[in-house]
Structure 1
């Protein structure tokens, strides 16, 4: 039986809940079940419910709901919530130009902050993951889908981990010291988590490539951003697709013309099916995009 969720207050307006000490799909599904139960309560004074990797946080107005009354309601929701084992979600194909010139130029400016100043981020990542070369690393990185577990840090940035057995997880440490620059839409990696930098700015994750696909746009110019300016949401499944420079440039032109669209398919994700077959089940999800 899972340990009970640990709760603590953050200043006057936040209730923080730690579901687990470590990230796992089971912890994510538990957090999702409880946050959905809390949202269904529609408590007066609850302003925001934010789900993360193995935790969640609730922002509330203490003038409208007393902190301990909220805590009691959330604990009751936890007791009654049954962690859902299936998720109606979507699988999204994200084109990526790996080993691109823009992240290469950027990483070369910050070699003094890297573990191995003599290697690129991709070369370093391949070596410490015992892969033969950069091409083998790219094949592993794009070979299995990724599960989005939270969105944050900057507006629209998704954190995700690859749906493979634990021993096959790609792991790369963050830079020794953060960069002051990261190109917009950079594919990053730190620890076992991947991300896409939604905007240009500081960052510490290793840089592997760029995607032409905007994932955050307050103007909502593209069709897949019409529903919300932030594209990703927890529970999304991402399949990276390596593309060459010609295909990347063509996609950028389509973005600028307002015609670009992503390949998105509805899919049901089963936690039990994945845990039973972590090799075959992700392949069945990839087939939905075929």
Structure 2
């Protein structure tokens, strides 16, 4: 099926915005990923930043060094040249340990029940109920069984937005809080709409809280080995596999982080969009094979 033309618009003197589609899909994301990577490879003088989002992207440029309409024509040419290409991505699948229903996020969410749709229970209880699961344990199993695709990084430094790799009708859907919290523990696992996230730092937030990871994902001091190359760990196109851990395992991993010895399990993979669309249940399970068993 042919893709709709991308809608381009200028924002002030320094920004070009590209709307790929009105709704998020892996197809829309791949179009944006291919175009932004191709634009980056051109190394046009005057481009200051390229910011990819779920179904759009934005380019910041210096209009004194790069004519806005030259940039626009370059993007249109790249768009025309990429039609019909196979959507594949050389990426990595990353195992992220999660202590679900931990005491810290639980204490936080209980402090803000007056801002929640279901103040009588927890966020996990609410998520399980509205998604048709018998209890929070069933919901956690569904949440952690299938990998998640990192579609963008932002909002605050290092925060990944993730899209579960299942058929659209099986997406876990949970609305955001009625009013945002003024506090969220750093490294909390959140969910709003169909998107998951990991709060990279402590701060305000409106996503439902399910657990916490001991794994730092943003560190300006770059104290851990896997953060030496970049203080922001996640990149658009990464694939995340959550691994539930108990309190003892969580404490052990936190100690490894404190000693500077923690390293996440990572495997290089080739993701093929057509293979996922042909087998949305089996293909994600195939991708995560090879991560170490625990």
Query: Quick check: 76-85 or 211-220, which moved more?
Result: 76-85
Residue of structure 2 in register with 1:270 after alignment = 272
Q: Is the 8 A contact 1:29 1:84 kept in 2?
A: no
In 2, the alpha carbon distance for the partners of 1:29 and 1:84 equals 10
Unaligned segments of structure 2, at least 5 residues = none
- Compute the displacement of 1:288 (Å): 2.1
Distance 2:106 2:37 in 1: 42
- 1:30 corresponds to which residue? 31
- Give secondary structure in 2 for the equivalent of 1:148: strand
Q: 1:143 is matched with which residue?
A: 145
Matched, 1:161 2:160: no
Q: In 1, distance between residues paired with 2:223 and 2:93?
A: 21
1:65 corresponds in structure 2 to 66
What's the TM-score once normalised by structure 2's chain length?
Answer: 0.97
Q: Following TM superposition, by how much is the alpha carbon of 1:84 offset from its aligned partner in structure 2, in angstroms?
A: 4.3
Q: Name 1:152's counterpart in structure 2.
A: 154
User: What whole-Å deviation, never above 9, does each CA across 1:138-175 have from its counterpart, x for those lacking one?
Assistant: 00000100000000000000000111111211000000
How large is the Cα RMSD of the aligned pairs? Answer: 0.9
Deviations 1:53-88 (A, max 9, x none): 111100001111122222122112211224541111
> Counterparts of 1:265 and 1:49 in 2: how far apart (Å)?
27
SS at match of 2:289: helix
In the other structure, the counterpart of 1:106 is 108
- What's 1:201 paired with? 203
For residue 134 of structure 2, give the secondary structure of its aligned residue in structure 1.
Answer: coil
For residues 223 and 164 of structure 1, the distance between their equivalents in structure 2, rounded to whole angstroms, comes to: 32
Q: Distance in 2 between matches of 1:42 and 1:4?
A: 24
Gaps spanning 5+ residues in structure 1: where? none
**1:282 alignment counterpart:** 284
The structure 2 residue matched to 1:128, chosen from 130, 143, 167, is 130
Distance, in Å, in 2 between the alignment partners of 1:43 and 1:35 is: 12
TM-score (norm 1): 0.98
Q: Following the alignment from structure 2 to structure 1, what is the Cα–Cα distance between the partners of residues 33 and 187?
A: 27
1:238 and 2:225 are equivalent in the alignment? no
Residue correspondence of structure 1 range 183-202 to structure 2 within 5 A: 183-202=185-204
Matched, 1:16 2:17: yes
